[in-house]
Amino acid sequence: MPSKLHPLQVNPTTGEPYLRLPSPHDNIIITPPRMSDVDAAMRNLNDRKVVDWLSSPPYPYLQSHAESRLTMVTKESDAILADLEADDPEQSGGSLKIVGACPVHALREVAEDGTETLIGDVHLRRCALVHEGAEQTVSCEENAARAVGDPSIIWCAGDWLASSHHGRGIMSAAFRTLMTDWAIPRMNVRVMRVETYAENVASARVFEKFGFVQECIADDVIVTNTGVVRRGIRLLWWKHP
Ligand SMILES: CC(C)(COP(=O)(O)OP(=O)(O)OC[C@H]1O[C@@H](n2cnc3c(N)ncnc32)[C@H](O)[C@@H]1OP(=O)(O)O)[C@@H](O)C(=O)NCCC(=O)NCCS
């Protein structure tokens, strides 16, 4: 019988679960967030090559911002892991429990001496559906109220990668790993909708390469928290084939 955490692997020294990216990125793992990520999060989320493309993190990104987000997301990860550990697969005929989130989302580069450096994050959440005219419309409340594992839940994703690592195929590999290893089999994710600034070709490509299709470019004009004016939001959909 597979482990309750399947297909997460577990670090034998720390007991921390993780997913490993396939070669040639197998020096990168995806783990739960850690409170010790504060400094790396502040460094990356104050980097204009990263944060100029994001809509939600405050700028400047202060220690208090990092601490409060990491407190929240480590609690979420701990709760999912506790839920998985409490499961008794024998009672469900050997099938693995479906859960409402992914406990691993922090990308870490592992050096030859074992040192791990936070280089990014890829996080799935239920979509809040802010745009009118989307192909499939459901209220935010209705989407939030659906039971864990409901295949009609509409999911969205947010991601960032350290600018030192852009353009090497890392996020494409990380997103694919997270979807195929966890989101599809262990969360029953079947429908997703993501938004990127229209000029953010790299972000759109990460999703398109997984099978997302562009629905439209909404003509919103948005000023980012760093003061950059972004014209147009690209909406992309994915449905499990
Ligand atoms: C968007 C982001 C996560 C992409 O991660 P990445 O690891 O650099 O992306 P990849 O190397 O996997 O490249 C994905 C695709 O985008 C293309 N690409 C990468 N950088 C590009 C650029 N500056 N302009 C155009 N295309 C680009 C790649 O060629 C690749 O497409 P291909 O395989 O068809 O050639 C990363 O650039 C980032 O963190 N940006 C800042 C934050 C952000 O934009 N987050 C997403 C918010 S919606």
**What sign has the CA pseudo-torsion 72, 174, 221, 153?**
negative
Kindly report, residue by residue over 62-76, the tens digit of the pLDDT.
Answer: 999 999 999 999 999
pLDDT at residue 181, as a whole number = 98
For residue 222, list its beta bridge partners: 230
Which residue puts its alpha carbon closest to atom 37 of ligand 1? Answer: 166
Ligand 1 geometric centre to CA of 36 (Å):
27
Q: Is 167 in the pocket of ligand 1 (CB under 6 A)?
A: yes
DSSP 153: -
Q: Is 159 in the pocket of ligand 1 (CB under 6 A)?
A: yes
Write down the pTM of the prediction: 0.97
Ligand 1 geometric centre to CA of 168 (Å):
8
Q: Distance between terminal CA atoms of the chain?
A: 28
Domain 9-239 superfamily per CATH: Gcn5-related N-acetyltransferase (GNAT) (3.40.630.30)
User: Position of tokens 């809509």?
Assistant: 55
Mean pLDDT of the chain: 94
Q: Please give the Cα distance from 107 to 118 (Å, whole number).
A: 6
Query: How far, in Å, are 9, 17, 18, 42, 110 from residue 14 at the CA level?
Result: 12, 9, 11, 25, 14
Q: Is residue 204's pLDDT more than 70?
A: yes
Q: Band of the pLDDT at 90, cuts 50, 70, 90?
A: confident
Q: Residue count of the chain, please give it.
A: 241
Kindly report, residue by residue over 123-164, the tens digit of the pLDDT.
Answer: 999 998 655 555 556 888 899 999 999 999 999 999 999 999
Q: Please give the Cα distance from 174 to 161 (Å, whole number).
A: 10
